[in-house]
Chain A
Amino acid sequence: MDRIEVMLEPVRVFMRQLGDILPRLALAVLVIIIGWIFARMVRYAIAKGLRAANFNVVTERAGIDGFLRDGGVNADATDILAALFYWLVILASLVIGFNLLGLTYITDLLGRVVLFVPRLMVAMLILAFGAYFARFVANALTAYCRNVQIQDADLLGRLAQYALVTFVVLIALDQVGIGGDIVRQSFLIVLAGLVFALALAFGLGGKDWAADLLERWWPKKKP
């Protein structure tokens, strides 16, 4: 009899534990399913909302959509942003679900991922509006240069655009927190290199002019 008791005890404990965990598991699965449905709704709503607000026009004009298309991505920036929201919701529901199950480590891990997604979104927005702004400035500059009849108006416009885009990309990267110091330092190197190159170019190109100028300001003593 006792032996049966002893044999049954672990089963009983197991059953008890099972009885403990099953409702939580069911709840977690439910939360995740609801989260998944909600995520799809959010993705749909966000995509619709952004398109209704002509966000796609901004990214298209900014050249981001074209960039993505060229890279073989089938979706445009709006779709990606919507997808980010989708994953945000999915991840949030997973966090809740795992939390219910008491898997704190996984919850912790997921929590960090969840916090990363909004930064990704902000980076995307920065990229979209920044690139649009860069293109706008480039167009305005080109038009102005053309009006005042400066040659290479297109080139100047392009230069301005690329410089702005570089900044924007750096800001976005900074926002995401990728690269950190490396990005900052390489940016400084590039900037210093640029300044040095300019100084060299003007120094070499304007050597005679500078000499003439110096000559006029401080004439050498006549021998």
Chain B
Amino acid sequence: MSSVYSGDPIPSETSTPSREGEVDRAVWYKDAVIYQLHIKAFFDSNADGVGDFRGLTSKLDYIQDLGVNAVWLLPFYPSPLKDDGYDVSDYRNVHPQYGTRGDVRLFVREAHRRGLRVITELVVNHTSDQHPWFQAARRAPPGSPKRDYYVWSDSDQKYKGTRIIFTDTETSNWAWDPMAKQYYWHRFFTHQPDLNFDNPKVLRAVLRVMEFWAEMGVDGFRLDAIPYLVEREGTSNENLPETHAVLKQIRARIDARYANRLLLAEANQWPEDVRPYFGDGDECHMAFHFPLMPRMYMAIAQEDRHPLVEIMQQTPEIPDICQWAIFLRNHDELTLEMVTSKERDYMYRQYAADMQARINLGIRRRLAPLMENDPERIKLMNSLLLSMPGSPILYYGDEIGMGDNIYLGDRNGVRTPMQWSPDRNAGFSRADPQRLYLPPIMDAVYGYEALNVEAQARDPASLLNWTKRMLAVRKGSHAFGRGRLAFLHPGNRKVLAYLREYGEDAILCVANLSRSAQPLELDLKRFKGRVPVELLGRTAFPPIGDLPYLLTLPAYAFYWFRLATDAAPPEWHKQMIVPEEAPVLVLFDGWLSFFRDRVVPWRKGMAEKLRAQLENEVLPRFIEAQRWYAQKGEPVASAALADHAVWDVGGISWLLTFLQVKETTYFLPLALGWEEDEEHVRSLSAATVARVRQQANVGVLADAMADEAFCRHVVKAIGGSLALPMDKGTLRFTPTSAFAELAGDEVATLTPGTLNTQSTNTSVPLGDRLFLKCYRRLRPGINPELEMGRFLTETARFPNCVPLAGSIEYAAGSGEPATVGLLQAYVPNQGDAWSYTAAYLERFLEAPLKDEEHGAYLTLMQTLATRTAELHRALATPAGDPAFEPEPLTGQDVAQWKASVREEAAETFALIEKSPHEHAKPLLAQRERVAAMIDACAAPAKPALKTRHHGDYHLGQVLLVSNDFFIIDFEGEPSRPLAEARRKHSPLRDVAGMLRSFSYARGAALLRAESKDGSLDAWEAAARSAFLKAYFDAAAGSGLADSAADAQGLLRLFEIEKALYELRYELNNRPAWLHIPAQGLAALAESVKGD
């Protein structure tokens, strides 16, 4: 996790300073997530009952692991601690309870080492009455510079228009000092006299304090109570221009002397009053957004987005380099100063029915108790916080859902010790419980025995681990910290939906504020064509189209979507609507309209035009968009009808066409669906070729594979051994001996399932019995899948392949027949082993603790290996068929194979040399090594066999069926000619293919998780050895290969061959995946060395 981000925040000596990096570093606070904590409450290292710097330093790993990148420390200066340290009595020292200045220095260094910034408090509005400055001032004569450090008056009637902040304890902003015989000014407690910033000496002293800590390495200062610095008669004494003048001087000083430091203004004001604290980018870098916080609570209480939308709309624009600081809870009460009195009443009733929970103008509770410990609501609130504009601040303990103690007086209820473990004092301190500065929470729900870091760290579903995941996701996009905010306005008011946009990046956040499930429709036309990818699970949702985007949310749920331009839509997604822009073909005589010699004389011209439109416009556009079009990316100029037949079965007819696209012939059956039969048109619309009109009838022309009746009639035709004459050739439907058993007697009622167009073939399941597969590209010659299927079904009776029920072949002239379609038995399955493995590895990467040994997975792989060996044994059965008869493997064979792999290596390296991908070039250095490796592959010493084999064996070619495997797709590698797939070879080629597939599964899982986790190396090694062992065990005695040791050389040769093939494939298609075969080659080289 840490490696993802560790390079960023702190300038280290080793990093090369780039222009962009410098800018990023200077505005680090824009992408920051800040963790706010009390020294005294975090960890006690010396068993005195109070947390300290050494304790905090020892827990820095925890903070770093959480995923935050800044720590905000509450005041740790010497103080009488009457206001939680905000009454400072010495600005330049550390309270002895917390440690020494040396401890602080160590802490700052350690934090920086972990990429964490440090923010401290600069409490300059007031000091403690114990501060030497005040002691000197009260003794100095009136008017002297020393007395002028503070604000004095002879009467308590000055500045009458000023409000009192702590209404519960204070009655006036003036207090009488008997020694000075004058009143002194204090905006907060009586013991906190306000400094007099009209006195230039005060400002100078304050600046020196700031420099002192900046020298120590502190990265940012929170300016406490900043609106109250200066006083003027006749004003409210808040936000005065003179105060801003002081701030500008502070900023100018820090900018002049230090780089990348932060000023964070605490101004509990309305947004328009806070705006001046940013100046023109020349006052504070950040300021708290106080009014947003209560409105998040209000929105969720009222189950209405209005409060949030309203306050964000009232929020003014701030300069580019500035940022809001946002929070849910902090060390003070949940302040309700920034809400109307009506809203305040509402909030009190909702969140603080117990009077004890109220203090001043707010509520002294933590997040979890406010949310009644409902994990969904806590998560929802956090998701809002992390996705609203601004840098979020997390209050310590809220990441584990800590509770509070409202009976502790003042705001101490939310300042109790951090709950580390169920041990004594919550693992916070080894001191006697009585000695603690505050007792830890001990109730049944929030008590430290039930709720602590240790327990949550081990629970993958805990709030702590959830928070870590959320923070990791948030780091994935700058849009969260820097993006623009735009609210969407779905009709359902209980749902809050907004966009965060930064450059091309767009994040869509949707949150259900209500306690019941909610639907919503979003107008996302602007992003038409983009694919929403849910960020937590990285799940692709159907792409955005013209219609309102429909989502449903469970109670208190939220989604974050990246509106991706580069992600693929989910595999099962189908464009269900007839594309508006599909061209219209005007028919006048059904299918015959396309054939000039089949229409009445006066319509020949029309027929010619229509045919040209079909061949030069309609079909080319359709074919380009199909997965089965082999020359992807290359536009189709024309698709000429090389052969055709109108297949009429009484009432319905289809046009079966063979289309010539350059050198290649494709098979495309076409169906017409007319508007009156809506159901029919809808089922065809997924495969629409064009819209059609014949007189007043409107309809679609579509791929007939999507037509229910067509599929059914194909099955019938196979059952009836139909030979359909075409214009030039013949289409032959042939059943196998297994047809009757597989098809049963309900062919007429079989309902086709959804069409699968995601591969080079198109396939459709028929009921739960049959599976019709249509090859699009015509490859003359005996189709190995048909041949192997026949052999395995009828001769060898191998139970773990899909039985063949029939075939469709096309023969034209004297040439070899080409296979157009296969009818197989449908095997209900749980998907292929590739998707199963991908999902398994994804789960494993997310929660690697559970099954370190991969026991269950390896058992499955052993089964797979056994089935593979059984397949090879079946293929080696002598049955008198020369195409399948096993032959002994000779040394000559091996020499020949080696020569061809050598050739492939040369070809591959030549391709790399020519390729524009620079990151592929280092592979060239491997040339010698690969050649040596090929030479080193030894032929087996004991007798072995050459047989037919699968040819393109990998995890995607086996179906998982209730913990067993079915082997499918005997076509061989699609890019090699059919004859090559039919030659006899060592079956170990299949084994090597599977081993390479494990390596691919590992690489793909790491790519997907964007991680470099080494734990998958162990998985790959375990899967390899389990597979090999089980394979050779099951193959023993068959004569295929003598033993694993004897076959090792051959196996390695085939692995090299496969890796070279993969290298070529990735170079041409997916350069980003190149490293997977490259690593495979490297690993092979390692294993050679190991021998």
Interface residues of A (CB under 8 A from B): 51, 53-55, 57-58, 61, 132, 143, 147
Contact of B600 among A51, A61, A143, A147 (CB under 8 A): A61
Contact of B601 among A57, A143, A147 (CB under 8 A): A57
10 other A-B residue contacts (CB within 8 Å) besides A54-B596, A57-B597, A57-B599: A51-B597, A53-B601, A54-B597, A54-B598, A54-B599, A54-B601, A54-B604, A55-B601, A57-B598, A57-B600
What residue of chain B has the Cβ atom nearest to residue A132's Cβ? B600
- Pairs A-B, 8 closest by C-beta atoms: A54-B601, A53-B601, A58-B600, A57-B600, A54-B600, A54-B597, A57-B599, A57-B598
CB neighbours of B601 from chain A (8 A)? 53-55, 57-58
CA distance A61 to B599 in the complex (A): 9
Q: Which among B598, B599, B601, B695 has the highest number of chain A CB atoms within 10 Å?
A: B601
CA distance A61 to B601 in the complex (A): 12
What residue of chain B has the Cβ atom nearest to residue A55's Cβ? B601
CB neighbours of A51 from chain B (8 A)? 597
CA distance A147 to B697 in the complex (A): 11
CA distance A75 to B969 in the complex (A): 51
CA distance A143 to B694 in the complex (A): 12
CA distance A143 to B695 in the complex (A): 11
Tell me, rounded to whole Å, the shortest Cβ–Cβ distance linking A53 to chain B: 5
CB neighbours of A53 from chain B (8 A)? 601
CB neighbours of A57 from chain B (8 A)? 597-601
Contact bitstring B591-612, A, C-beta under 8 A = 1, else 0:
0000011111100100000000
CB neighbours of B604 from chain A (8 A)? 54
CB neighbours of A54 from chain B (8 A)? 596-601, 604
CB neighbours of A132 from chain B (8 A)? 600
CA distance A70 to B596 in the complex (A): 27
Main secondary structure of the interface of B (DSSP, over half): helix
CA distance A120 to B347 in the complex (A): 104
CB neighbours of A58 from chain B (8 A)? 600-601
CB neighbours of A147 from chain B (8 A)? 696
A-B contact count (CB 8 A): 21
Tell me, rounded to whole Å, the shortest Cβ–Cβ distance linking B606 to chain A: 12
CB neighbours of B596 from chain A (8 A)? 54
CB neighbours of B599 from chain A (8 A)? 54, 57
Some 10 contacts from A to B, beta carbons below 8 A apart, are: A51-B597, A54-B596, A54-B598, A54-B601, A54-B604, A57-B599, A57-B600, A58-B601, A61-B600, A147-B696
The interface size bin for chain B is under 10
Tell me, rounded to whole Å, the shortest Cβ–Cβ distance linking B108 to chain A: 87
CA distance A147 to B676 in the complex (A): 12
**Which residues from 618 to 642 on chain B have a C-beta closer than 8 Å to any C-beta of chain A?**
none
CA distance A53 to B604 in the complex (A): 9
CA distance A202 to B981 in the complex (A): 80
Q: Which among A57, A61, A143, A147 has the highest number of chain B CB atoms within 10 Å?
A: A57
Tell me, rounded to whole Å, the shortest Cβ–Cβ distance linking B561 to chain A: 48
Contact bitstring B444-459, A, C-beta under 8 A = 1, else 0:
0000000000000000
CA distance A57 to B589 in the complex (A): 12
CA distance A58 to B604 in the complex (A): 12
Contact bitstring B579-599, A, C-beta under 8 A = 1, else 0:
000000000000000001111
CA distance A49 to B695 in the complex (A): 30
Tell me, rounded to whole Å, the shortest Cβ–Cβ distance linking A62 to chain B: 10
CA distance A132 to B599 in the complex (A): 12
CA distance A55 to B599 in the complex (A): 9
Tell me, rounded to whole Å, the shortest Cβ–Cβ distance linking A59 to chain B: 10
CA distance A58 to B601 in the complex (A): 8
What residue of chain B has the Cβ atom nearest to residue A53's Cβ? B601
Tell me, rounded to whole Å, the shortest Cβ–Cβ distance linking B554 to chain A: 50
CA distance A75 to B598 in the complex (A): 18
Tell me, rounded to whole Å, the shortest Cβ–Cβ distance linking B858 to chain A: 67
CA distance A143 to B674 in the complex (A): 15
Tell me, rounded to whole Å, the shortest Cβ–Cβ distance linking A9 to chain B: 68
What residue of chain A has the Cβ atom nearest to residue B607's Cβ? A54
What residue of chain A has the Cβ atom nearest to residue B598's Cβ? A57
Contact bitstring B222-263, A, C-beta under 8 A = 1, else 0:
000000000000000000000000000000000000000000
CA distance A160 to B695 in the complex (A): 21
CA distance A55 to B601 in the complex (A): 7
CA distance A53 to B600 in the complex (A): 8
Tell me, rounded to whole Å, the shortest Cβ–Cβ distance linking B200 to chain A: 97
Tell me, rounded to whole Å, the shortest Cβ–Cβ distance linking B922 to chain A: 67
CA distance A55 to B597 in the complex (A): 10
CA distance A51 to B599 in the complex (A): 11
Contact bitstring B683-704, A, C-beta under 8 A = 1, else 0:
0000000000001100000000
CA distance A143 to B601 in the complex (A): 23
CA distance A61 to B589 in the complex (A): 11
CA distance A54 to B601 in the complex (A): 5
What residue of chain A has the Cβ atom nearest to residue B592's Cβ? A57
What residue of chain B has the Cβ atom nearest to residue A58's Cβ? B600
What residue of chain A has the Cβ atom nearest to residue B604's Cβ? A54
Tell me, rounded to whole Å, the shortest Cβ–Cβ distance linking A184 to chain B: 32
CA distance A210 to B597 in the complex (A): 56
Q: Which among B597, B599, B600, B604 has the highest number of chain A CB atoms within 10 Å?
A: B600
CB neighbours of A61 from chain B (8 A)? 600
Tell me, rounded to whole Å, the shortest Cβ–Cβ distance linking A54 to chain B: 5
What residue of chain B has the Cβ atom nearest to residue A62's Cβ? B600
CA distance A54 to B600 in the complex (A): 6
What residue of chain A has the Cβ atom nearest to residue B603's Cβ? A54
CB neighbours of B600 from chain A (8 A)? 54, 57-58, 61, 132
CA distance A58 to B589 in the complex (A): 13
Tell me, rounded to whole Å, the shortest Cβ–Cβ distance linking B676 to chain A: 11
Tell me, rounded to whole Å, the shortest Cβ–Cβ distance linking B846 to chain A: 62
Q: Which among A54, A55, A61, A143 has the highest number of chain B CB atoms within 10 Å?
A: A54
What residue of chain B has the Cβ atom nearest to residue A61's Cβ? B600
CA distance A58 to B596 in the complex (A): 13
**Which residues from 683 to 727 on chain B have a C-beta closer than 8 Å to any C-beta of chain A?**
695-696
CB neighbours of B598 from chain A (8 A)? 54, 57
CA distance A57 to B601 in the complex (A): 8
What residue of chain B has the Cβ atom nearest to residue A50's Cβ? B601
What residue of chain A has the Cβ atom nearest to residue B695's Cβ? A143
CA distance A57 to B602 in the complex (A): 11
Tell me, rounded to whole Å, the shortest Cβ–Cβ distance linking A29 to chain B: 40
Tell me, rounded to whole Å, the shortest Cβ–Cβ distance linking A126 to chain B: 16
What residue of chain A has the Cβ atom nearest to residue B596's Cβ? A54
CA distance A143 to B697 in the complex (A): 11
Tell me, rounded to whole Å, the shortest Cβ–Cβ distance linking B863 to chain A: 61
Tell me, rounded to whole Å, the shortest Cβ–Cβ distance linking B295 to chain A: 62
Tell me, rounded to whole Å, the shortest Cβ–Cβ distance linking A143 to chain B: 8
CA distance A61 to B596 in the complex (A): 15
CA distance A53 to B596 in the complex (A): 10
CB neighbours of A55 from chain B (8 A)? 601
Tell me, rounded to whole Å, the shortest Cβ–Cβ distance linking B696 to chain A: 8
Contact bitstring B419-452, A, C-beta under 8 A = 1, else 0:
0000000000000000000000000000000000
What residue of chain A has the Cβ atom nearest to residue B696's Cβ? A147
CA distance A51 to B601 in the complex (A): 9
CA distance A54 to B597 in the complex (A): 6
CB neighbours of A143 from chain B (8 A)? 695
CB neighbours of B696 from chain A (8 A)? 147
Tell me, rounded to whole Å, the shortest Cβ–Cβ distance linking A10 to chain B: 65
Tell me, rounded to whole Å, the shortest Cβ–Cβ distance linking A127 to chain B: 16
CA distance A57 to B599 in the complex (A): 6
What residue of chain B has the Cβ atom nearest to residue A57's Cβ? B600
CA distance A194 to B600 in the complex (A): 34
CA distance A54 to B695 in the complex (A): 22
CA distance A61 to B603 in the complex (A): 14
CA distance A80 to B1064 in the complex (A): 65
**Which residues from 742 to 789 on chain B have a C-beta closer than 8 Å to any C-beta of chain A?**
none
CA distance A53 to B601 in the complex (A): 6
Tell me, rounded to whole Å, the shortest Cβ–Cβ distance linking A8 to chain B: 69
CA distance A53 to B605 in the complex (A): 11
CA distance A83 to B467 in the complex (A): 93
CA distance A47 to B601 in the complex (A): 15
Tell me, rounded to whole Å, the shortest Cβ–Cβ distance linking A3 to chain B: 77
CA distance A10 to B767 in the complex (A): 101
